[in-house]
Amino acid sequence: MRALLMTEPGDARQSQVADVDVPRPGAGEVAIDVAYSGLNFMDVMARRGDPGYAKSWPYRPGLEIAGTVREVGANVVGLAVGDRVAAVPDGGGLAEVAIARAGLTVPVPAEVSLRTAAAVPLGLATAMLLLSEAGRFAPGDSVLVHSASGGIGSALAQLVPLLGGGRLIGTVGRPEKVEVALKSGYDVAIARDEMDADAIRAANEGRGVDVILDPLGTSALALDLDVAATGARIVLFGNASGGALDALPPAGRLIGGNITVTGFSHRGLVAGAPQRVARAIRGTLDLLAGGRLDFPVTELADLTEVPPAHDLLAEGRGAGKYVVRVTG
Ligand SMILES: NC(=O)c1ccc[n+]([C@@H]2O[C@H](COP(=O)([O-])OP(=O)(O)OC[C@H]3O[C@@H](n4cnc5c(N)ncnc54)[C@H](OP(=O)(O)O)[C@@H]3O)[C@@H](O)[C@H]2O)c1
């Protein structure tokens, strides 16, 4: 079968589509014929060799898929060959066949295309968990999202209004991405070189922000604290630059401001509380099936188009969410 392989840490030159053996499911696992696979910045972090992302080299990337069950391992109940599913594989999802734990494999309702479903297990599910769990989002809350024009940012642009959010403000790394964020649904988008507390407060009609979703390591944390409303939740969920992380802020600001600073990791939940990830996948698939949620994606036609698309993400030039057609 065809699979994307990253031979060693590097860039697109170390990524190639290779012919590899078809994997078989172990106990508690299923093998899935992959119709579509989602692209994610975490595969870029693995590719560039950030510690903890690729377990070994050569590395087989791909962390979210949709397709049909091909083979069921021992002790799996509730899933059968031919079922349409979305799943979180433990890597190896950018391939014609991938293995996932049954507990992280969720049936896809008939109303949802496998193309859209491929953006759910990591992309939409992360956006949902950031809001509902880590961010303790409540209707009416204003939300600030850094890296607003990317995959997670565009998922949040769909979910926040659906869940009854107030002002939705995004920041982006390049001026040309302001338009992308606005088109996807942000009320205001600010380029990073113009991003300061005054601009963000002005964007929120003079008020502090209730929920701040920040994948920029700790580089924007001082600003986040500056614009946080009383009772705000700041969720740190990434470290796009891969740089060193600063210490957490002085407790006095947190106590005095009733501010929560919390972390979020999809990977951490997959390891320690997979049922919460599965629930978020199910919940977002149901919203899509009911027609309440739409999630536009850009489709790549073949696995060979993934390395240049990873380049776009690595250079901060991506726009929205990408999925690749594998066998669909
Ligand atoms: N914790 C979790 O479980 C989890 C799950 C999924 C994603 N994430 C994080 O969420 C962020 C978005 O992920 P995504 O998959 O949707 O990717 P993406 O947004 O499509 O692409 C990554 C974005 O990161 C931003 N960025 C900031 N500093 C960068 C740097 N030094 N190099 C490259 N890009 C940089 C760029 O946007 P701007 O320049 O506009 O900021 C870039 O477009 C990533 O940081 C990712 O690691 C975390």
Closest CA to 159 of 296, 323, 298, 294: 294
CA distance 157 to 185: 5
Ligand 1 atom closest to the CA of 154, numbered from 1: 16
Average pLDDT over residues 280-309: 97
Mean pLDDT (the chain, rounded): 96
- For atom 17 of ligand 1, which residue has the closest CA? 41
Q: Where does the chain have alpha helices with state H?
A: 41-47, 114-117, 125-129, 151-162, 177-184, 197-203, 221-227, 251-257, 266-272, 274-289, 306-314
Closest CA to 87 of 100, 70, 78: 100
- pLDDT of 191: 97
Ligand 1 centre distance from Cα of residue 211 (Å): 18
| Cβ contact 232:211 at 8 Å | yes
Q: Give residue 249's pLDDT band: very low, low, confident or very high (50, 70, 90).
A: confident
Ligand 1 centre distance from Cα of residue 16 (Å): 23
Closest CA to 164 of 131, 127, 188: 131
Average pLDDT over residues 28-46: 97
Closest CA to 237 of 268, 209, 258: 268
Does residue 100 carry a pLDDT above 80?
yes
Which is more confident, 207 or 249? 207
Ligand 1 centre distance from Cα of residue 146 (Å): 9
Average pLDDT over residues 226-245: 95
Ligand 1 centre distance from Cα of residue 256 (Å): 31
Q: Give residue 257's pLDDT band: very low, low, confident or very high (50, 70, 90).
A: very high
Ligand 1 pocket test, pick from 147, 212, 323 with the greatest ligand atom count within 8 Å of Cβ, gives: 147
Give whole-number Cα distances, 172 to 40, 43, 85, in Å. 17, 20, 33
Give whole-number Cα distances, 212 to 135, 137, 148, 168, 276, in Å. 8, 10, 12, 10, 21
CA distance 198 to 177: 20
Does residue 47 carry a pLDDT above 90?
yes
- Quickly count: other Cβ atoms within 10 Å of residue 53's Cβ: 20
Q: Where does 80-168 have alpha helices with state H?
A: 114-117, 125-129, 151-162
Average pLDDT over residues 73-90: 98
2-11, 25-34, 242-251: range with lowest mean pLDDT: 242-251
Does residue 328 carry a pLDDT above 80?
no
Average pLDDT over residues 315-326: 96
Does residue 19 carry a pLDDT above 90?
yes
- pLDDT of 248: 86
Ligand 1 centre distance from Cα of residue 147 (Å): 6
Ligand 1 atom closest to the CA of 314, numbered from 1: 33
112-121, 184-193, 236-245: range with lowest mean pLDDT: 236-245
The domains found in the chain, sorted by start residue, are: 2-119+297-325 (3.90.180.10), 124-266 (3.40.50.720)
Does residue 118 carry a pLDDT above 80?
yes
- pLDDT of 242: 87
The tokens of 292 are what?
Answer: 């309440």
Ligand 1 centre distance from Cα of residue 80 (Å): 35
Ligand 1 atom closest to the CA of 237, numbered from 1: 1
- Give the rounded percent of residues in the chain with a pLDDT score beyond 70: 100
Ligand 1 centre distance from Cα of residue 21 (Å): 32
Q: Is residue 103 exposed (0-12), middle (13-18) or buried (19+ Cβ within 10 Å)?
A: middle
Ligand 1 centre distance from Cα of residue 23 (Å): 30
Ligand 1 centre distance from Cα of residue 322 (Å): 13
- pLDDT of 161: 97
Does residue 163 carry a pLDDT above 80?
yes
| Residues contacting ligand 1 via CB (< 6 Å) | 40-42, 122, 126, 147, 149-153, 172-173, 177, 215-216, 237-238, 240-241, 264-267, 313-314, 316, 318
Ligand 1 atom closest to the CA of 320, numbered from 1: 20
Q: Give residue 184's pLDDT band: very low, low, confident or very high (50, 70, 90).
A: very high
CA distance 38 to 21: 22
Ligand 1 atom closest to the CA of 318, numbered from 1: 43
Q: Give residue 25's pLDDT band: very low, low, confident or very high (50, 70, 90).
A: very high
Does residue 250 carry a pLDDT above 90?
no
- For atom 36 of ligand 1, which residue has the closest CA? 316
The tokens of 226 are what?
Answer: 């500056």
Beta bridge partners of 87: 65, 105
Ligand 1 atom closest to the CA of 269, numbered from 1: 3
Does residue 201 carry a pLDDT above 80?
yes
Which is more confident, 308 or 51? 308
